[in-house]
Every structure is written in C-alpha cells, then in structure tokens.
Chains A and B, each alone.
Chain A
Amino acid sequence: MSEAGISRRALLGGGESLERLLTREHRLEDAYRAALERDAIDAALGETLLAHEREHVRGVEAALTALGRPRPRASVAPPDLGLALAGRDTFARFAIALERETAAAYAATLATLRAPKLLQPLGSIMTASAQHEVALREALGVDLLASSTARGVSTE
C-alpha cells in the first residue's frame, strides 16, 4: 500500500477512535447533568465537572473536524445511570468508574493516533479526566489516590 494509503487508513482509524471518545464525553456530560437534576452530586462540584465535560465535547468535536470527520449526533445515556442516581456516594463511585474508563480510552487512542497536532489537546483532556477522579474521591471521603495507602482506606 502507498504511503498516502497508509496515512488515509490511519486517519480513518483515528476518526473512529475519536468518535468513541466523543460518545464517552457525551455520557459523562449526561451523567453530571442528571446527577445535578437529582441532587446526586454536590452542586458546585457537579457544575464544575459538567462545564468541563462540555468543553471536552467541544474539544473532541474540533479534533474530529480537523480529521475531516462529521460529528456523530446520537448520544446514548450511560448504562446503569438510573441506579447510580440513587444517592451521592453511589453516583460518585459510578462517575469514578466512568472517568477512569474514559481516561483509559484516551490513553489507548493517544498510543495509536497519527495526528501529532491533536495529541497534546487530547492528552490535556485525558489528564482532566484523571483529575475528576480525584475530585470525586474527595467528595466520597476516601483515599484521594486509588493506589495510595495515605489514609489506609480502600476505595474499590
């Protein structure tokens, strides 16, 4: 295959990865919006995280545009969101898992994406997801670091 053919295939694969990331960001956005409506998250924290997710959605949409891909419009609510909205602790644990999965999906995309100009902004979003986890752990009142023994508390 020619170099141009390889590049087109790589960008096509990158676009599909970005579409999956956008779906994840929409799920997080939907989750925080629903949690705020149901009082399943502290209002200030929920508003901050929701605002961040909206910016992440815009960021991934811009990345898709840069790759010449149309923005997918459908948004699917995260599985089990209804159950997670039963209380603040339940929702925080649910959101931690969602943020962790999202950060892992970004890491996988960053490993393979052949679009150098997109790596830094996407990495910046990924690291924000990691920080969201810490914010949610703080709200939950557990060890701020999943692998830490600073408080001798297991969070998982």
Chain B
Amino acid sequence: MPIRLTRRGALGGAAALALASCGSGDPPPAGRPQAGSGAGLLNSIVALEHAGVAAWAAIAGVLDGEDRAYARAIRAREQAHVERVSALVRALGGTPPAGRPQSEYERMFPRMSDSADALHFARDLEARLVRAYLDALSSLPDTEQRRTAAEIAAEEAEDLAVVHVLAGTAAAPEAFVTGTS
C-alpha cells in the first residue's frame, strides 16, 4: 500500500529537519575547554535553544490572544535556557555559540498558515528539546551539568504540555515523555 503523505505529516517532518539543521552551520566554540568536559554537547544544546527562541517568536506571530501570550512566555523560558546552558559552557572555559538573525532561522522553519500549523510545529519543537536534554544526561560528565539538563527537560515537558492544551488535547497524554512524537 502506498504511504500517504498528509500536509500535517509533511509539516512535522519539515519541522524536524529544520530543527536538526539549526546549529549545524555554527562555528566551533572559540574557547578551549578540555576534551570530555561536556562543552561540545552543551554548545550544541545552546545552538538548538537559540533555534527554539527563534521558532517560538515565529509561532507567536501566527497565534493570537491567550495562545500568543503563552507562546511569548515559552519563548522567554527558552531564552532563559540559552543563558543557563551558556553559563555552563563559560564555566568550562568555552564560548557558547551566539544566535543568528531571526530571518536566518525563519528560512529553515516550515510555513505556518494557521494556528494548527503553528501548534504542530511547536509540538515537534518541544518534543525535540525534551529528547535532547534527556539524551544529554548519559553523556554529560558533571553533576551540575546533569542537574541543569534534568531541570530544563522538566520545563520543556511543561511547555510541551501547554502546547497540547492549546491544541485541545490532554496536557499529559502518556505516562512516559520521551520526546519521540
């Protein structure tokens, strides 16, 4: 049976690809942290979070009313995550990557023509962020790095739950949040 590609499915796939590519063109860190310090992984997370900040700005532009207010609140939380993870990189003697102009990110985002598109993109974005932090737990060598990753993973899961509510679905649909949806 041929696989039917729906518009929503294509949008989700595009979102995943866009987010996967965000950060891949960033220059290597300018500092010189020790190998195995976790700086490389933390820098890749900072790059992803920069993309997340830009994505939520774009999502807020499509939503309105209370949904837009939530999008802006989540964007502010992502910005706080950028700063928190960047501080870990600096503590290792590294230089975290700077964000790119909003327009550069937006070229990589899927086209969002209505709130359903925006919330679909938001769901994929937050699922990816949850997964990035949970995946990082087994690779980060330092207790404080891991605690930060775990705490931010919990916040990303909250953001994902808010997206679920805005989309009219259950806030906590599964007993285990893996970020694989």
Contact = CB atoms under 8 A, between A and B. Distances in A.
Contact of B171 (A51, A138, A150): A138
Interface in A110-137: 110-112, 116, 119-121, 123-135
Q: Could you say which of A123, A124, A128, A150 has the most chain B C-beta atoms within 10 Å of its C-beta?
A: A123
Interface in B103-161: 130, 133-135, 137-138, 143-144, 146-147, 149-151, 153-161
A149 B73 contact: yes
Contacts, number: 130
Contacts of A132: 171-172
Contacts of B155: 130
B138 to A, nearest CB: 4
B150 A126 contact: yes
State the majority secondary structure of interface residues on B. helix
Contacts of A119: 134, 137-138
A59 B177 CA distance: 13
Contacts of A144: 70, 158, 161-162, 165, 171
Contacts of B146: 110-112
A52 B146 CA distance: 25
A56 B175 CA distance: 7
Q: Could you say which of A104, A116, A128, A147 has the most chain B C-beta atoms within 10 Å of its C-beta?
A: A128
Contacts of A59: 176
Contact of A138 (B73, B130, B147, B165): B165
Interface of A: 48-49, 51-52, 55-56, 59, 103-104, 106-108, 110-112, 116, 119-121, 123-135, 138, 144-145, 147-151
Interface of B: 66, 69-70, 72-74, 77, 130, 133-135, 137-138, 143-144, 146-147, 149-151, 153-162, 165, 170-172, 174-179
